[in-house]
Amino acid sequence: MSIVDAERQIEAVAEGLAGQVAELLGISPEDADKLIERVGHLYMDRMKDRFTDLRFNNRLKRTNPFLLQVRGARTVRQWAENQVMSALFASEEEAIGHVLETIAKVCHPTAREPLITDDLDFEVEDGDRVTGYQIKMSWDCMPMSSRKNLSNTVRNLREHYQKQGKEFVGVFAPCYGRSATNKTNSQEYVSMRSREFWTDVGNGDQEYDIKVGEVCRLLCSEFRSELSEEVVPELIDRLTAEGVAVFGTPEGDIDFRKLFRKINP
């Protein structure tokens, strides 16, 4: 195949992917192209930067030697496999969180960038009402300090818009896991049901969360497979070799006394 033919094939695949994304999410082909490009940076580039640069000393510091024994790890390779997969899952969780934020901002029919604060991901103005959304991966991604910060932001924005004769509502929008929309007395914002959030993003489509999941699969699964098949084995081999030199036996087993003394000198 010539270079020109290969380039045409790549373009055809990209156009087909954009068409699938546009159809699933109900957005224009142009917005689908922008979304695919952004997801490439957010997922693929972020995963490469965060995941492939694993340092032995950092992974050693993150090793729980008590839990390692409970899980039945006996060889240094088993330790390396645990560390690599743990880093993969953590990196992927963060990357997908950013991907979902981007999908919501691109697909919501009336979303705009916040005019005043960086604490919100997007806002929607409808007549005299402005709603600001802070998106998180799941319902339990809000520590107490973040809750206080969001409440302070909502309080300040409410006062700001009140001077303009407008109502401001702050919304905490978890992408999955929240089964009800409510507001407690201790918070200034509304915690939104996850499915309701995606229904709003999808302009009333109550199955929109399922479609977003399919888009995530389309855009990220190939790169995930590449990581699992090519990068992961190399990282496991490298960490295994470094681990054997520091806390392993000549046979490749874990010397737990050495391991404990490296972690708790």
Q: pLDDT per residue over 203-248, tens digit each? A: 999 999 999 999 999 999 888 888 888 889 999 999 999 999 999 9
- Strand partners of residue 130: 125, 168
> Does the model's pTM come out above 0.95?
no
Q: Are residues 36 and 93 in the same domain?
A: yes
How many Cβ atoms sit within 10 Å of the Cβ of residue 222?
Answer: 12
Tokens, residue 105: 């901002």
Q: Are residues 18 and 94 in the same domain?
A: yes
Q: What is the DSSP track for 210-230?
A: HHHHHHHHHHHHHHHHHIIII
Alpha carbons 122 and 153: distance in angstroms, whole number = 14
Comparing CA positions, the residue from 127, 141, 130, 208 lying closest to residue 173 is: 141
Q: Are residues 189 and 132 in the same domain?
A: yes
Q: Are residues 216 and 96 in the same domain?
A: yes
Length of the chain: 265
Q: Are residues 126 and 4 in the same domain?
A: no
Q: Are residues 102 and 146 in the same domain?
A: no
Which of 147, 180, 201 is the last residue before a domain boundary? 201
Instruction: Average the pLDDT over each of 49-53, 70-74, 104-108, 259-263 and give the range with the smallest value.
Output: 49-53
If pLDDT is split at 50, 70 and 90, which confidence band does 45 have?
A: confident
Alpha carbons 155 and 146: distance in angstroms, whole number = 14
Residue 120 and residue 153 in contact, taking contact as beta carbons nearer than 8 Å: yes
Q: Are residues 75 and 130 in the same domain?
A: no
Model confidence pLDDT, tens digit, residues 112-146:
999 887 789 999 999 999 999 999 998 887 778 88
Q: Are residues 212 and 176 in the same domain?
A: no
Q: Are residues 161 and 99 in the same domain?
A: no
Q: Are residues 134 and 248 in the same domain?
A: no
Q: Are residues 176 and 241 in the same domain?
A: no
pLDDT > 90? residue 48: no
Model confidence pLDDT, tens digit, residues 3-35:
433 333 334 445 688 999 999 999 999 999 999
The whole domain housing 230 covers: 1-109+206-265
Number of structural domains the chain divides into: 2
Task: Give the pLDDT mean for 82-106.
Answer: 91
